[in-house]
C-alpha cells in the first residue's frame, strides 16, 4: 500500500473540507493516483504542505465547520503592541506623536497620559517592513487587531 500524504484539506463541490470529511466522503479512493471526482464531476484537489496557501481569514470545513487553518496576518501587513511609554517618547512628526497631540491638543507637555493609546495596532508595510501609512488601533488584543485588519480582506 502506498503511504498517503497527510492532507490538510481537500477542495470539492466548490468548497474546502477537512481531511475527516474528505475521507468519509471518498474513502481511500481520495488517494488513488487517478484521483476522484466530486458530485459535480469536478476533480478533487488535495491540499497539503507548501502546495496551498490558506486564506488569511482562516479556513473552515464546508461540511462539519471544523477549523482547518487559523486566521493570520497577511503579507504586507504587521500587527504589533505599543505601550503608553512608546507614545510618550514618540519622535516628533511621527503618527504616534500626532496621536499623542490629539489626546491633548492644548498641551505641549510630554506628561500627557498616553495609556488610552496603548494596545494592539495593525499597519500596512512595504517590502522590508517599512511602515506605510498610519497604524490602526488600539485594540485590546492581538486577535481583535487581526479581525479588524481582515474585515475588508
Ligand atoms: Zn469536516
The pTM for the full model equals 0.77
Could you give the C-alpha distances from 7 to 20, 91, 106, 121, 132, in angstroms and in order?
10, 49, 60, 34, 37
Cα–Cα dist 80/7, whole Å: 32
**17 CA to centre of ligand 1 in angstroms:** 5
**30 CA to centre of ligand 1 in angstroms:** 15
**2 CA to centre of ligand 1 in angstroms:** 24
Task: For CA atoms 44, 46, 51, 57, give the dihedral sign.
Answer: positive
pLDDT confidence of residue 107: 64
**20 CA to centre of ligand 1 in angstroms:** 6
pLDDT confidence of residue 132: 81
**72 CA to centre of ligand 1 in angstroms:** 21
pLDDT confidence of residue 4: 61
**12 CA to centre of ligand 1 in angstroms:** 12
pLDDT per residue, tens digit, the chain (153 aa), is 445 668 999 999 999 999 999 999 999 999 998 889 999 999 999 999 888 999 999 999 999 999 999 999 999 999 999 999 999 888 888 889 888 888 877 765 555 688 999 999 999 998 777 788 889 999 999 999 999 999 978
**13 CA to centre of ligand 1 in angstroms:** 13
Half-sphere exposure of 151 (CA within 13 A, CB side): 8
Backbone phi, psi, residue 73, to 5° = -75, 115
Q: Is 153 exposed, middle or buried (0-12, 13-18, 19+ CB in 10 A)?
A: exposed
Amino acid at each position: 500500500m502506498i503511504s498517503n500524504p497527510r492532507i490538510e484539506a481537500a477542495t470539492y463541490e466548490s468548497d474546502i473540507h477537512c481531511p475527516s470529511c474528505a475521507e468519509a466522503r471518498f474513502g481511500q479512493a481520495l488517494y488513488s493516483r487517478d484521483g476522484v471526482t466530486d458530485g459535480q464531476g469536478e476533480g478533487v484537489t488535495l491540499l497539503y504542505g507548501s502546495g496551498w496557501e490558506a486564506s488569511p481569514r482562516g479556513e473552515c470545513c464546508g461540511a462539519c465547520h471544523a477549523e482547518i487553518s487559523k486566521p493570520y496576518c497577511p503579507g504586507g501587513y504587521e500587527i504589533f503592541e505599543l505601550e503608553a511609554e512608546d507614545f510618550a517618547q514618540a519622535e516628533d512628526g511621527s503618527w504616534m506623536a500626532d496621536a499623542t497631540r490629539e489626546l491633548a491638543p492644548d498641551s505641549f507637555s510630554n506628561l500627557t497620559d498616553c495609556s488610552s493609546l496603548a494596545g494592539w495596532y495593525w499597519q500596512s508595510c512595504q517590502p522590508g517592513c517599512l511602515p506605510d501609512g498610519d497604524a490602526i488601533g488600539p485594540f485590546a488584543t492581538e486577535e481583535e487587531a487581526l479581525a479588524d485588519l481582515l474585515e475588508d480582506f
